[in-house]
Chain A
Amino acid sequence: NAGVTQTPKFQVLKTGQSMTLQCAQDMNHEYMSWYRQDPGMGLRLIHYSVGAGITDQGEVPNGYNVSRSTTEDFPLRLLSAAPSQTSVYFCASSILAGAYNEQFFGPGTRLTVL
């Protein structure tokens, strides 16, 4: 199993550009989520999904869209990139939704918005 994969690893955008960060898992996990990690801030939840076709907002959803058309994939879309979205983005999954399950993290995407 590849686990949780993320592409690209690095990305530079100009303000106003849009892009999609890709996340895929091959573990048949029900729950998937996106976090951003900023220095001194820890990880903050952006959006999450408890199954195909079901998504919900986390702590910092503004400026981001998600969809979950399949169990495996959970892309994160930046609609109009802003410098404040410069961060490292992590995708995570767990076998089931709910609070008692460990999360498996991808390697991250480092995004810079100029």
Chain B
Amino acid sequence: SQQGEEDPQALSIQEGENATMNCSYKTSINNLQWYRQNSGRGLVHLILIRSNEREKHSGRLRVTLDTSKKSSSLLITASRAADTASYFCATARGGNQFYFGTGTSLTVIP
């Protein structure tokens, strides 16, 4: 069974708009990570937020974590066409096993 579920499954926005995607998970976690996957490529790590953190920023990315609701959100501000990709959340349960969600497919229209 999968640990994370992203919402929405697909998102289409105009360049310059903000994109928000959400991740819900089922059990307690050590941390939550977000990854990006461009079409036909491997995943690339974006940001990690620890279970005792509520918000984290990296450039145009803002991640929040609500452990009481078992959910996280990824906000991409001022989106660009190059942000078109699929975005996955990943949670670590225990030490060495990672669980990925089903992903949000983001399309940024120039």
* Contact surface of A with B, Cβ cutoff 8 Å: 4, 31, 33, 35, 40-45, 48, 50, 56, 58-59, 90, 92, 97-100, 102-108
- B66 CB to closest chain A CB (Å) equals 19
Known A40-B102, A50-B96: A100·B30 in contact at CB below 8 Å: yes
Number of interface residues, chain B, beta carbon within 8 A = 27
Contacting residues, chain B, for A100 (C-beta < 8 A): 30-31, 48, 50, 92
- B61 CB to closest chain A CB (Å) equals 14
Residue contact A97 to B96, C-beta cutoff 8 Å = yes
Contacting residues, chain A, for B31 (C-beta < 8 A): 99-100
Residue contact B100 to A42, C-beta cutoff 8 Å = yes
Number of A-B pairs, beta carbon distance below 8 Å: 68
Nearest opposing residue in chain B for A90, CB measure: B42
Contacting residues, chain B, for A92 (C-beta < 8 A): 42-43
Rounded to whole angstroms, the CA-CA distance of A33 and B50 in the bound complex is 22
B18 lies within 8 A of chain A by Cβ: no
Residue contact A108 to B30, C-beta cutoff 8 Å = no
Contacting residues, chain A, for B99 (C-beta < 8 A): 45, 59
Contacting residues, chain A, for B45 (C-beta < 8 A): 102-104
